[in-house]
Amino acid sequence: MQTFSLPKTSSKPIPALGIGGMPFSRPGRDLDESISIIHFGLNHGMTLLNTADVYAPSAEEMGHNEKLMGEALRQWDGDQSKVIVVTKNGITRSKDQWNRNGSKEYLLRAAEKSNKELGMVPDLLLHHRIDQSRSFTEQAQAMLAVLNAGLTKKIGFSNIKQSEYEIAQQETHGQVSAVENERSPRYRSDVEVLESCTKDQIAYLAWSPLGGENDAKNLGTLYPEFKEVARDLEVTAQQVALAWLRTHSNVLVPIPGFTKIKTAESTIASADLTLSNDQIALLNSSKPGNGSVYPS
């Protein structure tokens, strides 16, 4: 798979596509099977692992996905030094209650736990979602404290707007090294942050790039333009969507989730797809879906 260079994000090569880890922590999933699917992705050049402390089958198992990703990487017989590990902190869980905590004390503690679960210092640690009970300035400063404590190589933010991007860059003295925001055929209103990341040449990780589990299955029906281009190229609408996203910016990396070798294969093959200008224009003209998969 092709890679490119974004030194502000990582000294490691950035792959065209990353592995979205969330579905591997659904209740009842077989850990060994998940590890073999992660290895399949890594073997084919998907050398960016996206995880979060909150990806877990239950509140008691916070850190489940980080542990799985760390274990998968240690068991992999490829060049582990080239793999970019991205995790996120700031969402809390207890029983069925999901909440946020963006305080410095909490984010430092959560980052220490993430290091422990992963068994390594992550390449990128992102603030997951804004804690509305405190100022964003305070949360940006807290992330700088996490970086200065040596708990991550670089920091970034997820689910932020342009105004927050600007505060984050200012409060961290320009040390925001990646953003992870939603972008897919369904959701593409995040234009300004993508432009800022492109201007600053830092990675923009596009989450739920197929619109999440439900949209992913029906992508060609929901967005007929994707089906039309897929028919012309003799590929699938999902492959067209992944290739199309990558035309939006030279810093954009889709991080699809997959739980089967078959979908992993199809995803990997999408990295070689080239779309014509007419095809891109047709896809851009399609109507987006109905809001975010996981609204704030």
Binding residues with ligand NAP: total (CB under 6 A): 30
* CB closer to ligand NAP, 21 vs 167: 21
User: β-strand 97-100 against 124-127: which pairing, if any?
Assistant: unpaired
Q: Which residues in 4-33 contact ligand NAP (CB under 6 A)?
A: 20-23
> Closest Cα partner for 169 from 130, 150, 211, 197?
197
68 touches ligand NAP by CB under 6 A: no
Q: Is 159 in the site for ligand NAP (CB under 6 A)?
A: yes
Which range, of 112-120, 171-179, 193-201, 211-219, touches ligand NAP by CB under 6 A? Answer: 211-219
Q: Which is nearer to ligand NAP, 277 or 293 (CB)?
A: 293
Q: Could you tell me which stretch among 6-14, 93-101, 149-157, 204-212 binds ligand NAP (CB under 6 A)?
A: 204-212
Query: Cβ(123)–Cβ(86) under 8 Å?
Result: yes
User: What token pair was written down for 239?
Assistant: 């492959």
Residue 223 makes contact with ligand NAP by CB under 6 A: no
Is the dihedral angle over the CA atoms 292, 293, 295, 296 positive or is it negative?
A: negative
Single-letter residue type at 156:
G
Q: Output DSSP code: residue 173.
A: T
H helical segments located in 126-284: 136-148, 162-171, 192-200, 212-217, 219-222, 224-233, 237-246, 261-270, 277-284
Quick check: 122 binds ligand NAP (CB under 6 A)? no
Q: Which is nearer to ligand NAP, 204 or 207 (CB)?
A: 207
49 pairs with which residues across the strands? 19, 85
Binding characters for ligand NAP, 173-202, by CB under 6 A (x = yes): -------x---x------------------
Choose between 31 and 150: whose C-beta lies nearer to ligand NAP.
Answer: 31
Biggest CA–CA distance in the chain, Å, is 54
Stretch that binds ligand NAP, among 66-74, 130-138, 253-261, 271-279 (CB under 6 A): 253-261
One residue of 267, 279, 283, 289 binding ligand NAP per CB under 6 A: 267
Compute how many other C-beta atoms are within 10 angstroms of the C-beta atom of residue 260: 12
Three-state DSSP at 98 gives strand
Q: By the criterion CB under 6 A, which residues form the site for ligand NAP?
A: 20-23, 50, 158-159, 180, 184, 207-213, 216, 236, 238-239, 255-260, 263, 266-267, 294
